[in-house]
């Protein structure tokens, strides 16, 4: 995954470089292009990822418990 701090550092360095050159309009165009590109990617936030991971762990725990219960019921037959 992309590190947000690395992206911020890249953006800051890129902005500083462009600010010292006559290419101020290029910065706006590059930012718009990057935002558009990232907007088209199917990315999720870290919070969303963590919630899904926790839900999956709980589902696995429940599945394991149900499998054990089914095995016990089958033995009892």
Inter-residue contact 18 to 31 (CB < 8 Å): no
What pLDDT, in 10s, does the model give residues 24-38? Answer: 677 778 888 888 887
Classify each residue of 17-42 as buried b or exposed e, where b means 16 or more C-beta atoms within 10 Å of its C-beta.
ebeeeeeeeebeeeeeeeeeeeeeee
State how far the Cα of 46 lies from the Cα of 63, in Å rounded to an integer. Answer: 25
Chain-wide mean pLDDT for the chain? Answer: 85
Q: What average pLDDT does this structure show over 2-27? A: 74
Is the whole-model pTM more than 0.75? no
């Amino acid at each position: 995954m992309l590190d947000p701090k690395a992206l911020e550092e890249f953006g800051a360095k890129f902005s500083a470089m462009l600010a010292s050159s006559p290419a101020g309009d290029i910065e706006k165009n590059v930012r718009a292009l990057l935002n558009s590109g990232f907007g088209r990617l199917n990315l999720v936030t870290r919070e969303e990822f963590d919630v899904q991971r926790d839900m999956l762990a709980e589902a696995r725990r429940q599945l394991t418990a149900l499998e054990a219960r089914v095995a016990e019921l089958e033995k009892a037959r």
